[in-house]
Amino acid sequence: HLESRKWDTVSRAISELTEMQVRQAYDAIKEHVNSKNSVVRKQAQLATVQLKEEGIQFFLDTARYPISQWQQVKILEILTSNPEFNVPSFRDWLVSENQDVVLFALRLIRVFRQMDAQQALLMFLNHKSERIQVAAVECIGDFKYDPARWSLRSIYEKASTELKIHILDALQAIGNTEDISWLDQQTRVDASFLVRSKARLVVNTLQPVV
């Protein structure tokens, strides 16, 4: 059925083989991870990750299409629900040509707390994709990577309102009293009420208790 020309037949076969945990079908199923049919493609991706531990590596190595938010969540659920999952170093995929793979690798780094990727995060702060910038900023805040403070401040001025909010969130986690005067300036000059309010909140958080 996996060789059928009908996408619904292939999709059903993948679903049934995955449900029955037929690991011998792994090699045949992984051939569909870049199927032109989005339903088959997504099912094959999930099946590949579920049937074998190395499935996530094969998927990240070969994925050519966009990876939806929903798909990322489903794959994460599979990985995190396996207590015996031997987590690879996801920073290896930060050099992928597929921006969605880079984005997903950043999220995996964050979820699996791969602190050895901290320095690599800095190179994504000037990325042309704002989604990747946001993911890198979120990682920095989560990991409390304070050497990134100056880098965050340097990209702030040209950032969108959404990215500024994420930068301020990160500074709330890693900032110190040296950042207060700069933050105080943002509470007055930024055009966005949301940004000014957030900057004020961060200032209040960083203010030393008298």
Which of 142, 74, 81, 63 is closest to 109 using CA atoms?
A: 142
pLDDT value, residue 134:
97
CA distance 188 to 209: 23
Using one digit for the tens of pLDDT, what is the confidence trace for 35-49? Answer: 999 999 999 999 999
pLDDT value, residue 147:
94
pLDDT value, residue 83:
87
The pLDDT-based confidence of 1 (bands split at 50, 70, 90) is: low
The pLDDT-based confidence of 21 (bands split at 50, 70, 90) is: confident
Q: Taking all residues of the chain, what is their mean pLDDT, rounded to a whole number?
A: 93
The pLDDT-based confidence of 8 (bands split at 50, 70, 90) is: confident
C-alpha dist (Å) from residue 111 to 44, 184, 194, 203: 23, 32, 28, 28
Q: What percent of the chain has pLDDT over 90?
A: 84
Q: Which two tokens stand for residue 89?
A: 């170093």
pLDDT value, residue 2:
66
- Asked if 54 contacts 85 with a C-beta cutoff of 8 angstroms, the reply is no
Other Cβ atoms within 10 Å of 122 Cβ, number:
16
The pLDDT-based confidence of 204 (bands split at 50, 70, 90) is: very high
CA-based torsion, 194, 195, 198, 203: positive or negative: negative
Using one digit for the tens of pLDDT, what is the confidence trace for 126-164? Answer: 999 999 999 999 999 999 999 999 999 999 999 999 999
In the predicted structure, residue 107 carries a pLDDT above the cut 90: yes
In the predicted structure, residue 70 carries a pLDDT above the cut 70: yes
Q: What percent of the chain has pLDDT over 70?
A: 97
The pLDDT-based confidence of 9 (bands split at 50, 70, 90) is: confident
**Could you give the residue ranges of the DSSP H alpha helices within the chain?**
7-19, 26-30, 38-51, 55-62, 69-80, 99-111, 118-121, 130-143, 149-156, 161-174, 180-189, 193-206
Which of 153, 161, 171 is closest to 194 using CA atoms?
A: 161
CA distance 193 to 199: 10
More confident residue, 7 or 53: 53
In the predicted structure, residue 13 carries a pLDDT above the cut 90: no
